[in-house]
Structure 1
Amino acid sequence: MSLWGAVLVAGVGCYLLKLVGLSIPARVLERPAVSRVADLIPVALLAALVAVQVVGDGRSLVADARLAGLGAAVVLLVLRAPFLLVVFGSALVAALVRLL
């Protein structure tokens, strides 16, 4: 299959997935369990993306300055620091670890 064929198949698949989501009856979506799962899916996806970006390096796992930056971000978030402070603080920690 060519690259454009794969792109077209993926596009049609995404459209059909969206169509299935729009055709679900409202009574199903109003159930508490469905609502709870729908609220937690974006959080789980974001956590997975962060984990892959922090400890992934191609096909291997690495522990480097990115992990220290993530740890600093977690500490700052637990302390309820403003978002900009979390971003700059974690970048500063990662830069300092790379410097060492």
Structure 2
Amino acid sequence: MIAEINKIKIEKEKFEKAAYILKAVAHPTRLAIIQLLDYQEKLTVNEICETLECEQSLISHHLINMKLRGILKSSKDGLNVYYSLKEYEVTKILSCIENCDCNM
């Protein structure tokens, strides 16, 4: 009985972390950014904007949000700020979406 209760507690913690990450990436632009950073190790805001054909302010908003939630990290090189994945496990979400056969 105690082993079962401990298992439920562990699963609850796992689900809480999963929900936190899913909330952080639950936007088409954020998912696209993650996909880009999965293919290219690091990119600047401008490179992401050009690739996704989005405004810089919108991309910056999404980048900052995901950085604050621990999904992305940034590094500065001269005048450029490069973003990269910090939480690589998040790319598994993209694999699940791509392989999903749920009439989407």
Per the TM superposition, whether the score is higher than 0.5 is no
Q: Which has the higher helix share?
A: 1
Per the normalisation by structure 2, the TM-score is 0.32
Higher relative contact order (CA 8 A, sep 6+): 2
Based on CA coordinates, which of the two structures has the bigger radius of gyration? 1
Per the normalisation by structure 1, the TM-score is 0.33
